[in-house]
Chain A
Amino acid sequence: MTGFNIIVPIKQVPDVNELRLDPVTHSLLREGVPSVLNPYDRQAMEAALFLKERYGGRISALTMGPMQAKKALQECLALGADDAILLSDRAFAAADTWATAYTLSVYVKSVPYDFIFTGLKAIDGETGQVGPELAEFLGIPHISYVSKIEVNADSKTVRVERQLENGYDVWEAPFPILMSIAKEFGEPRFPTLQGYVRAKKAQIKTLSAVDLQKMGGDTKNFGLKGSPTFIPKVHPPPARPPGTIWEGDPRESVRKLVQSLSERGLV
């Protein structure tokens, strides 16, 4: 056994902390917002490195996005990914989670893999759906919210802990398998300087819609056309009717407040 083939699908996202609302229209200002590697995906890279350090193998970082997404892949290379693949084509644009998972699956089916690690979700869409949908297209099992992994290389099985809102599960399953990695897995590392140097030299393989079509992909399932969902309307959250605000003497303010609450039967 010469180690595992590990794939880490990642996403480049706008830095949500940098997003601002237009003070007048309350619509989202997207211009000039920096793009970063989705923070949750660092956890997936951490799990991949954890496995590689113990069992050897290769880590491939994979994403679908515009050419700028190479920057996020470089971050993965700096962290220790062995290679990186970018699926980039205008035909992939505006894909929802179904079409994204489909597109990723076309590439993944063309390469050998034992494990696929994803983040819990992306900070922009926050759906957490692409991982399970990708596993579905690949016809392999998936386990979400994983905090601990034990590999039995002989029986080709894993025993994992997964974190829930009110406790945890222990599951056993055969691999190949896809897992989404929870923050309880452990603090993800940061790239080293040598890592960044290595990443600069690395080649990022880029594949287009035509390339994926040659691998058996059905172009009508790509991008906007292939997406079952779409968004006709986006608007700012509704404003509530203005409230009553008291300033000045706190005793007086509190008296009026408690009086109002009392009238509503709340005290």
Chain B
Amino acid sequence: MSTQSSFGVVTDPEILKRLAQYKGVWVYAEVDDNQVTNVSFELLAAARYVAEKTKEEVAAVLVGYGVERFAKDLIAYGADRVYLIQNRLLEKYASDAYAEAVSQLVNSKKPSIFLFGANRNARDLASRVAGRVNTGLAADCIQLEINERGQLEQIRPDFGGKELSVVLTPKHRPQMTTIRPGSFKVLKPDFSRSGVVETFEAELKPEHAKIRVVESVRKKLDPKEDIEKARVIVAGGMGLKSQDNFKLLQQLADLFDGGAIAATRSVCEKGWLPHHFQVGQSGKTVSPKLYFAVGLSGAIQHLVGMQNSEVIVAINLDKEAPIFQVCTYGIVGDLFEVVPLIIDEIKRIRFEKSLIKEGETVSASGS
């Protein structure tokens, strides 16, 4: 990608006139396995954040067949408008028919900003749409801002997270972005919000749908293994020394409602845990309330996947480990000694609290 600062300023009145025709912040509301994907709701949060600054409408693009029932959820989670594209040819995701339908909508309604999830299918679609409507696409963004010229700053980690780039799309519209799942927090739904559902008839011919979906097989993740939704994560690195020792982390995770274990890339590459437990640039981005980083040094590759966690606790023998630079609390020590102590201490403090509560109840009833 290019770096030349004067390029960001557009002064040509012809171009400015063309850009001004594009309005609104859109998100691609992806339906997979008969539900709207979680990242789609995160995109609505991102879109609301941006739309507050540009004073524009937020619209969700809902594509499929028999998907109109999802429109009210999209409105509750932040959409002012839902564009509904339904067609038998769109029953399951196929890159060619979906790209054609969505591109027709873009060319007809002209959004200024269009956000997609950076998950596999949505990223696939976004690439094809960007090619067809001739605009730029910034990949894997974790943050969005509007600059003083009203342009979308699309902020993404580069080189395995070693630096952050700000990407602009100065002369083309829409400004298209894929957003890494876990980068934005889903808003509280408000089912009293009002919004418009607008049907769009895409003209799909057989040559637009050469791909035939023969089968699509989806497996449900056990909630204990769904680290993107976990409230508390206990992540381990090579310091755990063996697959078996992850049981210790599981014990700590099990103390919390919505607790899950996770791992670094090295651990997953060793095969100690399956790939869906991996946090980081080539794994998942998570933002739990509490993240224990145990026996992992904190390679930047890993940090980009968890640095939005509210509280980070680092446990490592090496006091120079980079994880101590991002942690909220850190203990320099042997994890095999420290983690069991944490488990005991949490149990002890909870027991104490339960005694105090009982005491309060007793004295309250006594008065």
Q: Which residues does A use to contact B, with CB under 8 Å?
A: 14, 16, 19, 21, 27-28, 94-98, 101, 123-129, 131-133, 135-137, 141-145, 159, 164-174, 223-224, 227-240, 242-247, 250-251, 253-255, 257-262, 264, 266-267
Contacts and interface: CB of A to CB of B under 8 A. Distances in A.
B14 interface: no
A133 B4 CA distance: 24
Interface residues of B, number: 94
B330 to A, nearest CB: 4
Contact of B128 (A132, A231, A236, A264): A132
Main SS of the interface on chain A?
Answer: mixed
17 contacts: A16-B160, A28-B159, A28-B162, A98-B134, A98-B137, A164-B120, A166-B220, A173-B211, A228-B169, A231-B165, A232-B4, A234-B163, A237-B307, A239-B326, A240-B328, A250-B338, A254-B338
B350 interface: yes
Q: In the A-B complex, list the 7 residue pairs whose CB atoms are closest, starting with the nearest.
A: A228-B136, A136-B131, A229-B136, A132-B127, A127-B139, A167-B218, A94-B2
A167 B313 contact: no
Nearest to A138: B131
A87 to B, nearest CB: 17
A120 B334 CA distance: 39
Contacts of B169: 228-229
Main SS of the interface on chain B?
Answer: mixed
Interface in B74-125: 92-96, 99, 119-121, 123-124
A261 B300 contact: no
Nearest to B231: A266
Given A132-B128, A243-B329, A243-B330, A234 B164 contact: yes
Interface stretch (B234-242, B339-347, B357-365): B339-347
A260 B313 CA distance: 11
A92 B353 CA distance: 66
B195 interface: no
B356 interface: no
B101 to A, nearest CB: 15
Contacts of B330: 243-246
Given A97-B137, A229-B138, A250 B162 contact: no
A227 B4 CA distance: 12
Given A144-B120, A230-B2, A247 B131 contact: no
Contacts of B123: 128-129
Given A94-B2, A165-B119, A165-B120, A257 B166 contact: no
B33 A166 contact: yes
A262 B349 contact: yes
Contact of A98 (B131, B161, B212): B131
A117 to B, nearest CB: 16
B211 A129 contact: no
B131 A126 contact: no
Contacts of B281: 126
A64 B44 CA distance: 37
B270 interface: no
Interface string B148-161: 00000000011111
B333 A227 contact: no
B303 interface: yes
Contacts of A159: 214
Contacts of A16: 159-160
B191 interface: no
